[in-house]
Amino acid sequence: MRKILLVVAIMGMLVSPVAAEEIGETTGTVDSINPIDPARGDYDGGIVLRDTADSVKSFDITTTTVISDQSTGKIDSGDIRDGDKVRVKYSVSKEGPMAIKVLRLPVGDKEASGK
């Protein structure tokens, strides 16, 4: 019985940091992007968005960030340009906001333009 309680307590401690992460989603215009390029040894980058309320939000991007386009599918972070409309799914932990998924939206997307 003591062993079971010990295992449950250890599992609870391991799960706690994951539960502390906040998951969110935002849509906006790319203000700036620092793309990653694993071929050159750049594994960390970032993206800065200006949302429809004109507030600025920044997110880290890494090789685990899924970057895609609605029409063409998977793309590289270097394919996203300033002024592109994107939707970012992100998590916030003690390290800060991390992009989980970046989706480039079509130019006429009403959600991204705030209309």
Cα 91 from Cα 100, distance rounded (Å)? 7
pLDDT at 60 over 90: yes
**Domain positions in the chain:** 22-108
| pLDDT-derived band at 21, boundaries 50, 70, 90 | low
The 10s digit of each residue's pLDDT in 72-94 is 888 988 899 999 999 999 999 88
pTM of the model: 0.73
Residue 84 sits at the vertex; the CA angle it makes with 112 and 101, to the nearest 5 degrees, is: 75
- Could you please state the CATH topology (level 3) that the domain comprising 22-108 is classified under: OB fold (Dihydrolipoamide Acetyltransferase, E2P) (2.40.50)
